[in-house]
């Protein structure tokens, strides 16, 4: 039986002050462990070491280094493992981006690309190159007579470009495995920082789980996130559709239907509300700073307590986010039910820049999203419903006519073609996306300049 992982949530009732204080203390210390690991082991000198995270753990125990965290061993070991896993994922993403960049570099020969890919696969060699140290190259690659100095410099430069900042955690979220909690009488008992003591939390349901879960704080309550394996659905759908992920409508389908038409309204309403709220808060911030500069600390503190609180602000924001997430899931479910797709073809926008794709007013609204939420939910729904999803190269799918292939102009919601007239811009893009699936010349990672050359050559041959 094929399965997919789904995260289910358990919600608690309001916690008393002592229980909330103890759980937040665990979360704070858990975060400290993770941030230490990020700062100590996310650099280029630890690429090989993080492959053996058990060695780090054993060293902490042997030298009693772990005692400083003032946490039960199971907690800090989970924090260590979680942070190391995130660092590994970060390095994997960096390597993928380096590979993508060199694949688009038309000045590199096949032998040079082979050398770079070989280095990226071997962590020991990759680390030594980033440290600017010499490496032993296999005889087969030596026969290429490559300028390895230039190639090593290119690897270092691209790695610096994509590495980014150290991924510090700023939340007090923490994980608990089966040895750190137990269920009973509609409650969960979570191990505390004190030996033999547990924090009792009353839950809103009586479900019992037996795997590692994540504890998140929601005001004076907690939320337990538990990953469960559930069976995939088998529909036997056969249709192949292309979709364009837009802003005014969430999805435009190659069958000339749209889903999620109210997304724009939801985002606009919240953006305008936040604009007004933040404008008022900025005035209070300015007033507070003026009082501080005048030495009137009592008035400044009064404004801080009564006008600049975050509880109501965050609660309304979270409520809106949940409303829009529900709408997105509802729209995806409607798309799958109505279109009955066996395969969904869509753009790969992993490395696309929103600076060129959307105007400033739109980016301000879309920036409120949890990064990748729409993509993550669409992929999950496809896997859950046994639907294949295929990513294609998005270059120029919104700038060419889906009927004749000529370049046209998009004006708002309308695409204009000098030959064929007008068509809904998102529908036009979705039709081009579906065609791109079977395009043997334009691959997923074909450079956008090369894509334009191919498209122009086709127009010239007509």
Instruction: Determine the pLDDT at residue 316.
Output: 85
Instruction: Determine the pLDDT at residue 275.
Output: 82
Instruction: Determine the pLDDT at residue 310.
Output: 77
Give the list of residues 6+ apart from residue 354 with CB closer than 8 angstroms, or none.
363, 366
**Cβ(159)–Cβ(130) below 8 Å:** yes
Instruction: Determine the pLDDT at residue 359.
Output: 53
3-class SS string, 60-91? HHHCCHHHHHCCCHHHHHHHHHHHHHHHHHHH
**Cβ(320)–Cβ(370) below 8 Å:** no
Torsion of CA 432, 437, 441, 447, to 10 degrees: 70
- Between CA 86 and CA 462 the distance in angstroms is 51
- Which residues, given as ranges, of the chain have pLDDT below 70? 247, 349-371
Sign of CA pseudo-dihedral 132, 135, 140, 146: positive
Give the single-character DSSP code of 426. H
**Which tokens go with 110?**
């096949």
Instruction: Determine the pLDDT at residue 355.
Output: 47
Instruction: Determine the pLDDT at residue 351.
Output: 41
Instruction: Determine the pLDDT at residue 354.
Output: 45
Q: How many CA atoms within 13 Å lie on the side-chain side of 231? A: 4
Give the list of residues 6+ apart from residue 19 with CB closer than 8 angstroms, or none.
199, 200, 201
CA-angle at 269, arms to 413 and 277, nearest 5°: 140
Instruction: Determine the pLDDT at residue 15.
Output: 96
**Strands annotated E in 271-366:** 341-347
The CA radius of gyration of the chain, in Å to the nearest whole number, is 27
Q: 224, 221, 229, 228: which is closest to 175 by C-alpha?
A: 224
Which residue intervals of 15-52 are DSSP H helices? 17-41
CA distances from 211 to 171, 175, 249, 326 (A): 22, 10, 39, 26
Question: Exposed, middle or buried, 79 (CB in 10 Å: 0-12/13-18/19+)?
Answer: buried
**Cβ(187)–Cβ(202) below 8 Å:** yes
**Which tokens go with 244?**
């364009």
CA distances from 208 to 12, 214, 222, 265, 349 (A): 13, 14, 16, 39, 39
Torsion of CA 56, 59, 60, 63, to 10 degrees: -160
**Cβ(332)–Cβ(380) below 8 Å:** no
Instruction: Determine the pLDDT at residue 267.
Output: 78
**Cβ(8)–Cβ(198) below 8 Å:** no
Q: Which long-range contacts (CB under 8 A, 24 or more apart) does 131-135 make?
A: 131/44, 131/45, 132/156
Summarised one tens digit per residue, pLDDT across range 365-394 is 555 455 578 888 999 999 999 999 999 999
- Between CA 157 and CA 428 the distance in angstroms is 39
Sign of CA pseudo-dihedral 389, 399, 366, 95: positive
- Between CA 192 and CA 332 the distance in angstroms is 41
Summarised one tens digit per residue, pLDDT across range 110-163 is 999 999 999 999 999 999 999 999 999 888 888 888 999 999 999 999 999 999
């Amino acid at each position: 039986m094929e399965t997919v992982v789904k995260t289910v949530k358990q919600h608690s009732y309001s916690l008393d002050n002592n229980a909330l204080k103890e759980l937040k203390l665990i979360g704070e210390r858990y975060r400290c462990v993770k941030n230490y690991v990020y700062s100590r082991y996310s650099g280029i000198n630890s690429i090989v070491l993080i492959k053996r995270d058990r060695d780090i753990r054993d060293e902490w125990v042997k030298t009693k280094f772990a005692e400083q965290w003032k946490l039960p061993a199971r907690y800090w070991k989970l924090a260590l493992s979680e942070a190391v896993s995130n660092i590994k994922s970060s390095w994997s993403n960096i390597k993928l981006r380096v590979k993508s960049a060199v694949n688009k570099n038309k000045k590199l020969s096949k032998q040079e690309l082979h050398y770079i890919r070989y280095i990226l696969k071997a962590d020991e060699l990759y680390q030594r190159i980033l440290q600017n140290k010499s490496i032993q190259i296999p005889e087969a690659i030596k026969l290429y007579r490559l300028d390895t100095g230039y190639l090593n410099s290119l690897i270092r430069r691209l790695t610096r470009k994509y590495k980014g900042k150290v991924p510090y955690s700023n939340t007090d979220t923490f994980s608990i495995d089966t040895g750190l909690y137990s269920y009973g009488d509609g409650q969960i008992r979570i191990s505390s920082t004190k030996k033999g003591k547990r924090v009792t939390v009353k839950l809103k349901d009586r479900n019992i789980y037996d795997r590692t879960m994540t504890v998140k704080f929601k005001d004076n309550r907690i939320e337990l996130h538990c990953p469960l394996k559930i069976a995939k659905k088998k529909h036997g759908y056969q249709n192949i559709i292309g979709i364009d992920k837009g802003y005014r409508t969430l999805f435009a389908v190659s069958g000339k239907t749209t889903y999620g038409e109210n997304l724009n309204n939801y985002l606009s309403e919240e953006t305008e509300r936040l604009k007004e709220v933040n404008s008022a808060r900025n005035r209070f911030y300015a007033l507070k700073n003026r009082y501080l500069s005048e030495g009137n600390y009592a008035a400044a503190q009064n404004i801080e307590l009564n006008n600049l609180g975050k509880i109501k602000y965050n609660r309304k924001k979270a409520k809106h986010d949940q409303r829009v997430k529900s709408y997105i899931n509802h729209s995806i479910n409607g798309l799958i039910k109505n279109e009955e797709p066996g395969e969904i073809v869509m753009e790969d926008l992993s490395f696309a820049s929103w600076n060129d794709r959307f105007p400033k007013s739109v980016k301000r609204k879309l920036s409120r999203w949890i990064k990748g939420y729409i993509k993550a939910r669409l992929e999950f729904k496809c896997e859950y419903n046994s639907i294949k999803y295929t990513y294609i190269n998005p270059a120029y799918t919104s700038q060419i006519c889906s009927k004749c292939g000529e370049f046209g102009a998009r004006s708002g919601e309308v695409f204009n073609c000098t030959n064929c007239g007008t068509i809904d811009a998102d529908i036009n893009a979705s039709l081009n996306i579906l065609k791109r699936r079977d395009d043997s010349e334009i691959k997923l990672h074909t450079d956008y300049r090369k894509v334009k050359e191919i498209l122009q050559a086709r127009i010239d041959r007509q």
